[in-house]
Structures are given as structure tokens and as C-alpha cells.
Chain A
Amino acid sequence: MGKRRAAIAVLGAAVMAVSVAACGSGGGGSSDKASGPDAFKGKTLTVWVMSGSNPPGWTKDITAAFEKQYTGAKVDIKVQQWDGIQQKLTTALSESSPPDVFEVGNTQTPYYAATGGLKDLSGDKSSLGGDAWAPSMNASAVYQGKQYAAPWYFATRVVVYNKKIWANAGITSTPKTQDDLFKDLAAIKAKGTQDAFYLPGQDWYAFDGFLLDAGADLVKDNGGGKYTADLDSPQAANAINLYKKLNSYGTAPKDKDEATPQQSDVFAKGDVGAFLGLGWEAAGAIAKNPALKNEVGYFPMPGTSATTPAKVFIGGSNLAISQNSKNPQMAEDFLKLALSDQFEGELAKEGGVIPNKTSLDSNLAGNDYGTVSATAATNGGTTPLIPTWGNVENAPNPITTLFMTPVLQGQDPAAAAKKADAEVDNRLNQKQ
């Protein structure tokens, strides 16, 4: 009998301990006071960054700087893939110890802000350098007037080309208009390069750029925060036909996106003329095939007129702290470090991505991709900053599977657009 009572006592204690832990930690207070160097001894900060966002030099330097400033603290930076990240992030945020700091795409930030999984940073905006953030850059991180994340960086897609292949085809200068581009691609193809331009069928970010440039958008604003899908328009048909034409200059699959297989891996083989991509994709290709080091060039996707490049989709990432983080103070201090001029500048210099403060733009000067990307970014747009937009990006994405791929495979744009619009509307109106 004594053993039984002891067992019950242990069980009871365990249950009580679990329920106390489950009651959760309250949110961290505002961090006007700086933490002492021993504040986080023995603690580990979990940071999630998305694939392509953390250049190796930046990663090493910020980890060393943080661990030097706070003795005994450790920073664990984990790289996540974009594919399926929404489901992974939702599950992680619902757990009792979610990642403390994580990167979330600008198109998905309102979705997570609406779930209450992000910590409200309104009180810390100034100490994070928020007074200098350009309002257009900060827009996706603000929800219902509160600051739920901090803008980290922006990146636009540019044409990354293989200088050797272009020179072989006798092309001396980069194209300034779309007609020039197609002339150049035809010349490259005539020279025997099978993949003059590698554009997979489901790169909807690239397609959004074409759409914006044609004067249309993925959705239209009906006022009062109500959006409906708008792919069923002649401008959208023009955009997808342009996409189709570009896709035909290579052998990229029509029903896969830019990560399946990774564009950078395909380009690394050295027999692709050009592709539409980001700085890290080019860097990845060079890392895989060092012979490409001095052969990679960049130019903005040309538009219809020679004076302005085409409009592009301005991708960006924000850094957020999870509401249930076990180390809120530590997370804030890390955020302060990451968003400091020193590390924002280093990120811009190494990654070629556009920093969150215009004052730091000078860091892009040495980075070929960065200078071109910044030019392109002056003329762009993004997806609507509403919580239900996150639903549209859930696999299978209707924009790619119901519109882009069917049209690329021969369907009529108007018919495919009707089906895609219906599904996008369905998702935009789902109750959260």
C-alpha cells in the first residue's frame, strides 16, 4: 500500500508540474534596459531563417558577436525550406516551446499576425531602429495598428545570365527591352544552347512581376478590405503569354516550381543561358560550380520601353518573435543585434539584399546582384497584406496549379483564369 501512495504522489506532482508549465510564460516586458552580459548564461536561442536568407559570413559573425556579448549564451540558427513552411510554422507556434526568433515572408506575415502567434513589438520599435524604417517596407509587419514583426530585408528577381554563353552567341550588351531580350535568346538558341532561358512553370513570384508590369494584379481591391481574384483579364492573359514565351526558350518543366529542382543547381551545370532569380541562387550556383565565378552577370528584367525595367514582385522577409517564446528577452536582444546598422549593412553587402533602412543602401555598392536588384525594386509591388492571403499560398497553390501550368500546357487563359479565380476567392473568404 505504501508503494501505491508514493506512486500517486509522484504522479500528482508530475501533473501539477506539467499544468504549471502549460499555463505558459507571460510575454516579455519592454526592453528599455539592456541585459547584463551574464543574463542568458546556459540558455540557447533558437532562430529559424529561410533557405537563402543567411549568407555564411553574416551567420558566423552574428553568432560570434552575440555569444561574445552575452557570455554562456548560445545561438542555434536553423535553416528552413520554403516548401511547406506555413504548416511547419503553424505547428511550431502552437507548441509550448516554439522557435524564439524566426523569419517570415512578407506575404505571410499578416496571416501569422492574425493568429496571435507573433509577439507585439510596438513598445520596442524605437530600440530596434524602427524610426528609420521606410513606411512602405514596414507595411507588411504592421497588423491592426500594432507592430508584429520587424522588416529584415527585401529582394527582387533579376535576370542572372552566363556571360560566356552570351558572349559566344555574339551578344555584346544586355537587352534593354523585351524585344531585344527575345532576339538575344533566339541567337543563343541558334548557337546550340538548349536552355537559353530556364523558367519553370510555377514560379508565381516571377509571374506576379509580369502581371504587375502588364498593368494587372493577382487580386483587386473592392474597398473595405475585401479582395477578389483578378486573373480573368486581358492584361493577365498578356502576362501569362509572355511567361509562356519565355518558358519556351528552355526545357524547364511546366508543372514544377523554381525549387523543384533548385534553379541554382540547374544553372550550376553551366549550360543554361539565363534564369530569373535572387542573389542567393546565383551564389549557390557559384558555390556548386566555382568555374562560374566570373561568368555570372545580372540585369533587370526588361520592360516594353528602353528607359524603365519591368515591374517586379518585391519579396521581403520580416523577423518575428514568437508569442510563447521561452526566452523573450534574449530574442529581443538578438533582434536588436540583427537589425543594427552593422549587421543589416553586412547582410546587404554579402547577400545583395536591400536593407530595411535607406541609409544603409550604400552597402549594396560592391555587390553586382545588389545594385541591379535595387534598380529593379524602385518599380514593384507585392501581394495584398491581408491575413487570408496566407490561405492562397497553401499547397496546392491555385495560381500555379490552376492557372499558370494549365495555360503553359495549352489551355485558354480566360478559361483557366475563371477556375483559378474561383479557388482564390474561396480561399480569400475562408474564415480564420
Chain B
Amino acid sequence: MAAQTTGARTRPGRGRAPDAPPADHARRGGRGLGARSAPYLLILPACVATIALLGYPLVRNVIISFQDLNAFQLIQHTTQWTGFSNYTDQLSSSTFWHTVLRSVLFTLANVALIMAAGTAVGLLLNRLGKRMRLVLQLGLVLAWAMPVVAGTTVYQWLFDSQYGVVNWFLAKLDWHSMAGYNWFGHQFSTFSVITLMIVWQSVPFVALNLYAGLTTISAELFEAARMDGAGAWRTFGSVTFPILKPFFLGTTFLEVIWVFKAFTQVYALNAGGPEGSTETLPVYAFIEGVGNQHYGMGAAISTLTIVILLALMSYYFRIMLKQEDDL
């Protein structure tokens, strides 16, 4: 299959370059060169990996988006430049704009649910006793660690119209019209299943991070708030949220990016069906680019996806940068 980065939902990058040790003040001759180049040599592997695995495909993708690259050109190894026509075709197509709208709404709905549920679970983690906390953390980590495609298979079985547990359970609860319901036959129900899966796998990250953040707030603040007569909501609004604002902003920011580019869940659950009504931008790019073998067009759509995401994030960028200045 074409080696396009398909933007699968990944866990937060752990491969951050280690902080370089402060370079020795340059001493004339001797060990100066070795000591000065040590930091650069240490981060060289990470840089090479990043450039090779992320930078090169990105650059290649942008280059391909200016070409007419279909099966013919791929097999013949010819390069056919076509300027901006891939972009103008997409920007003037109503299918594209419908997909954009769908992606934005889908992202908003998911992120809202993820942040709400994740915050609730994080607060719960803070309140639990040691043993139950361990059990809950274990459950969260297992959900988080489940490979995405294996997870979609399980969800497909759960929501199968004939043999799925969900339909069986709902029918047992006397909701008989759900007995043979085809979850993947309608847009809204398909999106519900996809949302459930994405929220289920994203909540652990938010919850565990929030818990970590909460442990940095000294207990005295909560005591003081309680003594002043603040209830649970007031405590959250006046103590927890203001202190953890950077955390909330950062996590929402990350979740928006991850959900917007989520490909695996949407594609594996029903391939953008029924009738293309659950195609989000990454799935649309894949179907158009790899499925229909119009790689140039697919590359243009994926580049536009990045541009649109950056535009949506510009508000957050401004807040994040202002935060840095405030601190």
C-alpha cells in the first residue's frame, strides 16, 4: 500500500530529545571541540529519526499534492506537474466542504465528551483509596493500551446487528426494536459507535494526567476552601480549574489534534459509510488518494487538512503563547 502517513491516533510522543548538558565554555584547543559537540551528537539520532520518518514524508506529500499522480504515473514512474489544480478542485467541491464541516462538528463533540468524562474520572482518581485507585488505574491503562484495530474489531462484534451483545442486552431491557438494529446502517448511529470508541480510548490519557496535576496542588488549599464553606463545584471552579488551567488548555489542544486526524477508528468501523456519510477529512483523503489511486488528489486533501487544523488551532496558539509570557 502507498506509504502515506495516515495519522493513526497515537499516544503522546515519548521521544522527546533529552535536555542537552550545558556546553563547557569554549576552551582554546584540547577537549573544547569534543565537549562542545557532545550535546549535538546526543540529539542527532532523535533528529535524524524525526526528519526521516516525519519530515521527509511531509515534504514528499506536499510535493505530490502539486502533481497528477494516478496509477498510470505511478507505474510509469513519470512526474506530471499540475500546479494548484488539485487544490482548486477540492476547494470548489461541495463534497470537500461538507466533509470539513462534518470533521469539525465530530471533533467538537468528541473533545467535549472526552474532557468532561476525563476530568470526572481524574477527580475520582484523586478521591479514591489506594486499592481502588490502583484498580481504576489498571483499567484505564488497559483501555489506553489496547491496539486500535483490535479494539475496532471488538466494537464491531459488540454492535453487530445479529449477534452483538449490545443489541441482545437492549432487547433484554425490553427495548425490542433494537433486537436486530443495524448500528452501521445510519449516519448518526455509526458516529455514535465511533465516538464511543474514541472517547473510551482517550479518557485514560486525560484522567491520568489530571490526577498527576491534582497531586501537585497542596491539600491545604482544598482544606481552606472547605473551611470557607465551598461545595464541590465551587472548589473545582475556584481552586482546581484556575491552578490547572495550563493542563486543561494543553490537553484540550492535544485532544483536538488527535481526534481531528483520527483515521483508524472511523475507517475500520465502517469505511466512511453508509454512503460516505461518516467520512471525516483523513478518511476522505485516504479513500480519494489510496482507494481511488489518485495520490496527488489525496495528498492535496491531506495538506488542506493540516492547514485547516492549524487555522482552528490558531486561537489556542495565541492563548498558549500568552500563557508563556504570563509565566
Interface of A with B (CB < 8 Å)? Answer: 86-88, 90-91, 93-94, 111, 114-117, 251, 253-255, 323, 390-391, 394-396, 401-402, 405-406, 409, 419, 427, 430-432
Contact = CB atoms under 8 A, between A and B. Distances in A.
Interface in B48-75: 68, 70-72, 74-75
B74 A401 contact: no
B291 A255 contact: no
A133 B71 CA distance: 30
A111 B72 CA distance: 9
Contacts of A114: 72
A90 B292 contact: no
A391 B162 CA distance: 33
A115 B293 CA distance: 12
B272 interface: yes
A91 B3 CA distance: 10
A123 B245 CA distance: 75
A432 B272 contact: no
A395 B294 CA distance: 13
B74 A94 contact: yes
B271 A395 contact: yes
Contacts of A402: 275
Contacts of A432: 70-72
Interface-central residue, A87, A88, A90, A390, by most chain B CB under 10 Å = A90
B122 to A, nearest CB: 39
Contacts of B215: none
A99 to B, nearest CB: 13
A91 B273 contact: no
A257 to B, nearest CB: 12
B252 to A, nearest CB: 33
Contacts of B72: 114-116, 432
Interface in B261-278: 271-276
Given A396-B276, A396-B291, A94 B77 contact: yes
A86 B293 contact: yes
B37 interface: no
B273 A116 contact: no
Nearest to B2: A91
Contacts, number: 72
Given A88-B1, A401-B274, A394 B185 contact: no
B291 A394 contact: yes
B1 A394 contact: no
B184 interface: yes
Contacts of A251: 162
Contact of A405 (B68, B271, B274): B274
What 5 pairs across the A-B complex have the smallest Cβ distances? A117-B75, A94-B74, A90-B71, A115-B75, A115-B72
Contacts of A116: 72, 75-76
Nearest to A322: B75
Given A395-B287, A430-B294, 5 more contacts: A90-B75, A255-B274, A394-B292, A401-B274, A405-B274
A78 B282 CA distance: 32
Contact of B75 (A94, A401, A431): A94
B292 A255 contact: no
B275 A401 contact: yes
B290 interface: yes
B287 A396 contact: yes
Contacts of B76: 115-116
Given A88-B1, A255-B273, A409 B185 contact: yes
Nearest to A251: B162
Contacts of A395: 271, 287, 291
Contacts of A254: 182
Contacts of A86: 293
B185 A87 contact: no
A431 B274 CA distance: 27
13 contacts: A86-B293, A91-B74, A116-B75, A253-B161, A253-B162, A255-B185, A255-B274, A391-B292, A394-B292, A396-B291, A401-B273, A406-B274, A427-B292
